[in-house]
Amino acid sequence: MRQIKIFYWDSCIFIAWLKDEKRPNNEMDGVYECVDETKKGRIRLITSVLTRTEVFEANLTPDVKQKYDAFLKRRNVQLLDNDLRIADLARNIREYYEAQSRIDGLPPVRTPDAIHLATAIHYKADAFWTFDAGGYGGRSLLSLNGNVAGHQLTICKPVATQYRLGF
């Protein structure tokens, strides 16, 4: 059994961290704790190379872009390529939720989200962290917790073991 946890960050988690978003219910505590634990080498953080494109769509300042680039240079932070295995798994996820959409009337999983999910599944993430509750015309990723088109994957908002005091 591996000792270091592998967390997958959806693009929205990086954006929230980089923009220092104020979110309800101490949702950012887990993000800040994860950054600290990653810097200490206690967590392996993974994400799709697609995240880089999505993060830079967020209109960040040059200083914030530099902070992002510096964080990505850590050995235990990995931008993972979208290869044929990921593409095929993402296609399968999309097809599954397109068929499911005809049954339940909910939107399908968008292609970028399917790529993120496929990457997390393929690289065996312990948890997929997101704030995606179904915006931008796609199915809520949080609603897929535990079962993504037949693949086991924990999907949740960032979880903190300690809480920050906001003074």
Tell me if 134 is assigned to some domain: yes
pLDDT band at 17 (very low <50, low <70, confident <90, very high): very high
Task: Check which CATH number belongs to the domain holding 83 and give it.
Answer: 3.40.50.1010
* Number of domains within the chain: 1
pLDDT digits (tens, 9 = 90+) for 87-144: 999 999 999 999 999 999 999 999 999 999 999 999 999 999 999 988 777 899 999 9
pLDDT band at residue 14 under the 50/70/90 scheme: very high
Structure tokens at 44: 């392996």
Going by pLDDT thresholds of 50, 70 and 90, the confidence category of residue 162 is: low
Does the residue 135 lie in any domain?
yes
Residue 80 lies in a domain: yes
Answer yes or no: is 137 within a domain.
yes
**Is residue 43, in this structure, part of any structural domain at all?**
yes
Decide: 132 and 10 in contact? Cβ < 8 Å: yes
pTM of the model: 0.92
Percent of the chain with pLDDT over 70: 95
What's the CA gap between 28 and 166, in Å, rounded? 11
- Domain assignment present for residue 167? The answer is no
Instruction: Supply the range of the domain harboring residue 33.
Output: 5-156
164 within a domain of the structure (yes/no): no
